[in-house]
Structure 1
């Protein structure tokens, strides 16, 4: 019984640890979306998607409402999205997306993480030709016919549909579209009644590369350190 208690406690601490890292990042994404397109989700597809992503991660409604409210507060006016480029161990290409009100602090932290973990900080824009900005949605697999669904999504701007399996063995669909199609695709997904797990504008590598398991261990150490930084919203790589 003692071991079972310790296991439950460890599992609970792991969940709380994850939430303590991810909720502030989700909150920033909501605040930025509301700041850019207004606080009414009905009129702001990017905000609707940010809220749907937060709900999928079990973020409490009070936290979501507070994040929307922050968009109109003075402290949030200086928050901006910045992207940094870098090269990880074994030549892995990395783009780091940050949301920060203090770019001097953020760039110093990102540079330090790269240098201490076998990476190299590159001039901003160095990897712009290696990645493309895409609208990316992850949704739960519906009961309906996938072939018919694919045809309907194409009408809303989808360019690629992939099946995905996460670490827990759960299946989902990844829907890709062009950067400019985010709003139209978001509206189409909602009209078709698909349940959004996550959504956003992401950097997708134009040419992905396979790394050995040993190489990936070193790369993932750097990625983990980057993701642990409070200002980092997402890390994109060219890992196949």
Structure 2
């Protein structure tokens, strides 16, 4: 996924932070992490990260606590993580990550959105070589951190690239280094705004603004579905 596209998505995410459809998605991630690794964030890195990401989006504390409690409820839903690959308008490539308790419903919804918005779902594995799974950590660029020194130190923990922007810093690393990089940032006193595993396009493509608007219209519709957790694309 291109840097310019990420900047646009960051702006949208900021607006989504106040929207009710974002909190259920964040809550689902918290519940899944707690169910898989326990309800104590001090011993469950995935849960700690999910809580941190939720707080960065201003998710209320009560919502977070309820999401954790749902993991141990007798009627707790069992979620499966499923990915769908597709092509959008103008040949754009999209990778859709979902968490669902009903895969039949989810695949039907995802296919319908693609079909109605100038795209189509392709066979699983078709885009394997077009995207690479990466650790992506974001924190605010406040000027209080020696970024050159930090970059050198994080290389030992799996850092591949540091993208310094005016308001934020993005850290990219191998997906297997997620835990090490998150812990290393914590040890350096860095409060990450978001830490996730993302699909990054190996060969980002330039599209015109008009084309991007059509592609983003499809992405927005996909993200309206409660089962869709993230959508990645090859827009430069």
TM-score for both structures, normalised by structure 1:
0.88
- The SS at the match of 1:19 is coil
Q: Against the structure 1 CA distance between its residues 16 and 197, is the aligned structure 2 distance closer, same or farther, given a 3 Å change threshold?
A: closer
2:17–2:58 contact (8 Å) kept in structure 1: no
1:137–1:196 contact (8 Å) kept in structure 2: yes
- The SS at the match of 1:196 is coil
Aligned partners of 2:225, 2:105: CA distance in 1, in Å?
Answer: 11
Measure how far apart 1:49 and its partner are: 1.1
Give CA-to-partner distance per residue, 1:96-117, whole Å, 9 cap, x none.
1111100000000000000000
Q: Against the structure 1 CA distance between its residues 211 and 15, is the aligned structure 2 distance closer, same or farther, given a 3 Å change threshold?
A: closer
- The SS at the match of 2:190 is coil
2:89–2:118 contact (8 Å) kept in structure 1: yes
Q: Against the structure 1 CA distance between its residues 202 and 75, is the aligned structure 2 distance closer, same or farther, given a 3 Å change threshold?
A: farther
1:219 pairs with 2:215? yes
1:204 pairs with 2:220? no
Structure 1 ranges of 4+ moved more than 6 A: 14-17
- In structure 1, stretches of 5+ residues that fail to align are 1-13, 166-170
Measure how far apart 1:155 and its partner are: 2.2
Aligned partners of 2:50, 2:103: CA distance in 1, in Å?
Answer: 23
Measure how far apart 1:16 and its partner are: 8.5
CA RMSD of aligned residues (A): 1.7
Measure how far apart 1:15 and its partner are: 6.3
Structure 2 counterpart of 1:145: 146
TM-score for both structures, normalised by structure 2:
0.89
Q: Against the structure 1 CA distance between its residues 215 and 141, is the aligned structure 2 distance closer, same or farther, given a 3 Å change threshold?
A: same
1:85–1:127 contact (8 Å) kept in structure 2: yes
Measure how far apart 1:211 and its partner are: 0.3
Q: Which has the larger radius of gyration?
A: 1
- The SS at the match of 1:39 is coil
Structure 2 counterpart of 1:188: 184
How do 1:7-46 and structure 2 match up within 5 A?
A: 18-46=18-46
Structure 2 counterpart of 1:61: 61
Structure 2 counterpart of 1:177: 173
1:122 pairs with 2:122? yes
Q: Against the structure 1 CA distance between its residues 152 and 72, is the aligned structure 2 distance closer, same or farther, given a 3 Å change threshold?
A: same
Aligned partners of 2:75, 2:89: CA distance in 1, in Å?
Answer: 37
Q: Against the structure 1 CA distance between its residues 192 and 203, is the aligned structure 2 distance closer, same or farther, given a 3 Å change threshold?
A: same
Measure how far apart 1:17 and its partner are: 8.6
